[in-house]
Amino acid sequence: MTNALISRLTEELQTAETDGTYKKLKTIEGPIGDKVWLKDNGEVILLSSNDYLGFANHPEIVSTARDALLSYGASTASVRFICGTQDVHQTLEKDLAEFHGTEAALTYSSCWSANTGLFSAITSTGDVILSDELNHASLIDGIRMTAKDVVRKVYKHSDMEDLEAKLIEYKDAPSRMIVTDGVFSMEGDIAPLDQIVALAKKHHALVVLDDSHGLGVLGETGHGTAEHFGVMSDIDIFTGTLGKALASGTGGFVAGPKAVTETLIQKSRPHLFSNALPASVAAAGSKSLELLSRHPETVQALQEKAKNFRIRLKELGLNPLDGGSAVVPVIVGETATAIRLAGEMLKKGIFVTGFGFPVVPEGEARLRFQVSAAHTEAELEEAAQTLKSCLGGGD
Ligand SMILES: Cc1ncc(COP(=O)(O)O)c(C=O)c1O
């Protein structure tokens, strides 16, 4: 039985290798920054990281984490409710709640855990969840984990007519919840949150926003997609990550009404059955939030660089997908093409990732560039020119 399974897996891996779709992990020697040192390639410009604000190796974040490591030790060695809650966790949760303007916040070991632990804990018989078709895999899986008698419906991507039709169809449900990414991670486009909020108000629904790629990136002060649309106080529940723009290590959170976070403490399985964040990471998370509020100019620099990068690609005839975020995808067609192009770019000193099926639809494989405030305009120019040369449009 086991042998048959291992043989099947080996065959599938060989097929992926032959098809050029096999994913190989690259070894980075040293910290994340605008450039990284790869074991097999040396120094390359990094356009594959979520380190949108250049915080991943920020000296204040690193020294805060180091100090907390010395004060609190390496690990809680426990889940939160047993004996895994240190004061730094509570400070971070207070900071996250304050940042989002919510009553409370609760941390998890990742946003994946937050999203997979949220929906089944707070829904009940007949409740309706309406989810954008391009939502992140963690939202999709989290919604799938709800009880059989919770109604789960997918609306067409950012399609307000479809969303409203479904809100009307389920108008008698005990509760309706609209769930959306703020920035869609594979497309780089922004959810029309102003319209979603308007529909939620009209139809008495809640809005759940996963702003993992919006926090630190959008809005004048980096409060994310809700700030971008001026609807911060209209979002009922935020989820997000400490592992992208905040780059304080890893970790995720849910911010919202106390009734929600307290229910999660009682019922959310990744919270009940998985360890707390290390104190060093929790302390670093609070430091990241503080840095973000001290440096809105870093957010504005990032926005400017992402906008310029899109313009640059367009001027070179390279057609990035439209969007206002720091995720800038260029569609190249087949999965193998995306992976081959990423390999060629890497040889020329640009680290960008190719994404193909099943992460994105068949035939829409892409290179996904992610801009950081840490990039120089010269690095971004080099990335654009290298893409053009790899696509055969010059050198
Ligand atoms: C929209 C979205 N939500 C959640 C996650 C998961 O975040 P984490 O790395 O904290 O688990 C990601 C990460 O890719 C994401 O893009």
Say yes or no: CB of residue 187 within 6 Å of ligand 1.
Answer: no
Question: How far is residue 353's CA from residue 343's CA, in Å, rounded to a whole number?
Answer: 9
The answer to whether position 11 is within a domain reads no
Question: Does residue 8 lie in a domain region?
Answer: no
Are both 169 and 305 inside the same structural domain?
no
Query: Per-residue pLDDT for 171 more than 90?
Result: yes
d(CA 76, CA 74): 7
* Percent of the chain surpassing pLDDT 90: 92
CA distance 102 to 44: 41
Placement of tokens 């995306």 in the chain: 338
Total number of domains in the chain: 2
- In a domain, residue 385? The reply is yes
Residues 123 and 166 placed together within one structural domain of the fold? yes
pLDDT at 393: 56
Q: Average pLDDT of the chain?
A: 96
Ligand 1 pocket mutation pick from 181, 186, 212 by most atoms within 8 angstroms of CB: 212
Any idea which residues carry the catalytic annotation? 185, 213, 244
Which CATH number characterizes residue 121's domain?
3.40.640.10
47 and 96 housed in the same domain: no
**Which is it for strands 350-351 and 42-46: parallel, antiparallel or unpaired?**
parallel
- Nearest ligand 1 atom to the CA of 138 is 4
Domain membership flag for residue 6:
no
Cβ–Cβ under 8 Å, residues 242 and 285: yes
Is 3 among the domain residues?
no
Structure token pair of residue 330: 């260029």
| Test site for ligand 1: of 139, 180, 185, 253, most ligand atoms within 8 A of the Cβ | 185
CATH number for position 378? 3.90.1150.10
Q: What is the mean predicted confidence (pLDDT) over 189-216?
A: 98
With respect to residue 4, please indicate whether it lies within any of the assigned structural domains: no
Specify if 366 maps to a domain.
yes
Structure confidence at residue 359 (pLDDT): 86
Alpha-carbon distance 207 to 194, whole Å? 11
Do residues 313 and 209 both lie within one domain? no
- pLDDT tier at 138, thresholds 50, 70, 90: very high
Tell whether 304 and 262 lie within a shared domain.
no
Ligand 1 midpoint to CA 252 (Å): 8
pLDDT digits (tens, 9 = 90+) for 287-314: 999 999 999 999 999 999 999 999 999 9
Shared domain for 238 and 104, answered yes or no, is yes
pLDDT of residue 394: 47
Cα Dmax for the chain: 61
Structural domain including 310 reads 24-52+296-390
Residue 112 CA, ligand 1 centroid: distance in Å: 6
Grade residue 1 by pLDDT with cuts at 50, 70 and 90: low
Q: Which of 294, 325, 341 is the last residue of a domain?
A: 294
Partners of 355 in the β-ladder? 366
User: Same domain for 347 and 240?
Assistant: no
- Atom of ligand 1 minimally distant from the CA of 113: 11
Q: How far away, in angstroms, is 109 Cα from ligand 1 center?
A: 11
Residue that the structure tokens 């696509």 belong to: 391
My answer on whether 66 and 190 are in the same domain is: yes
Residue 83 CA, ligand 1 centroid: distance in Å: 26
